[in-house]
Amino acid sequence: MKELVALFTAQLTEALQIGKNASLYACDKEFRNVVITGLGGSGIGGKIVAQLVANDIAIPIIVNNDYHLPHFVNENTLVIASSFSGNTEETLSALSIAKEKGAEIACITSGGKMLDIAINNNYNHIILPLEKSPRAMLSYSLTQQFFLLNHYNLIQNDFIVKIQNAIELLNSEIHNIKAEAKNISNSISNKTTVIYSEANFEGVAIRLRQQLNENAKVLCWHHVLPEMNHNELVGWAGGNEEKAVVVFRNKTDYSRTQTRMNIQKSVIYKYTSTYIECYSKGNSNIERALYFILLGDWVSVYLSELRNVDNIEVKVIDYLKSELAKNI
């Protein structure tokens, strides 16, 4: 996993080339909404992209992590199905429903049943490289979602330059990123991590939670501000030194939310002294989000080493899938 995380910017570069070279059919439909459907490492890119384009796209865009699709999905819906393996049963189920409802369908996958379905039904699709762990392929799937939204004339293509700028930024900052990640992993080792961010950056907070789950084999949770201030902040009365807080912050976060973050810090400090604030770098939200993603990925890898666990294996998920296969 360390080797895969180290390839992050190289993957982004390759992902841009894949998107530029994708052969996609024209579509003259007038869309009223977009649904991105996917699970786990294949689904989190949808959450992140949906938040990053929220101020640019003129129609609602939601993320679906289930077997089913919202009832409103119809012929005026663009459904983007993302499954690295192409065999994720929940996503295939949602894809079948999208077909029944007459939605415009586009797929992001490396193969499997989804690729067969896309080819047989003449759906737009972008093929990802093979042989890597799905959670290590976020750079690819995330980038292709931008390209698909642009292909359907829902966003401009300025994301390309922003991703290129992010690659330059991350390459120039990699030593600082890894040093910060090591410090964070040392601080949260043997503690339960609580991750906070502004609501508009929830996707990157979820990404860190998922990476800590899968790579470091630990439980943790996340929440967002301002919502967290209306419930979970009270729950910190039951907090203690066994908890560690990691806060993703941007200097561009809404001013009132930044004030809330400053106040909550003084509240939570009464219960734990492990309160880490991480500030992003970059001139666009795409750059800042990718900065946090890479930082979080390194934190998860370093923590896995401190815990002496295999950061690649996910045997419990393999077991779950094998048991599900017995009950089809």
Active site residues: 214, 230, 321
Residues 236, 271 contacting (CB under 8 angstroms): yes
Task: Identify the three-state secondary structure at position 75.
Answer: coil
Between CA 286 and CA 143 the distance in angstroms is 11
Edge to edge, the sheet with strand 243-249 lists 220-225, 192-198, 243-249, 275-279
Q: Position of tokens 């996910």?
A: 314
Where does residue 179 rank: exposed (0-12), middle (13-18), buried (19+ CB within 10 A)? exposed
Structure tokens at 130: 């093979």
For 216-228, letters b (16+ CB in 10 Å) and e give bbbebebbbbeeb
Residues 5, 136 contacting (CB under 8 angstroms): yes
**Residues found in the chain:** 328
Q: Position of tokens 């080493």?
A: 305
Give Cα separations from 316 to 107, 213, 319, 327 (angstroms).
Answer: 27, 12, 5, 17
Element (H, E) at 63: strand 61-64
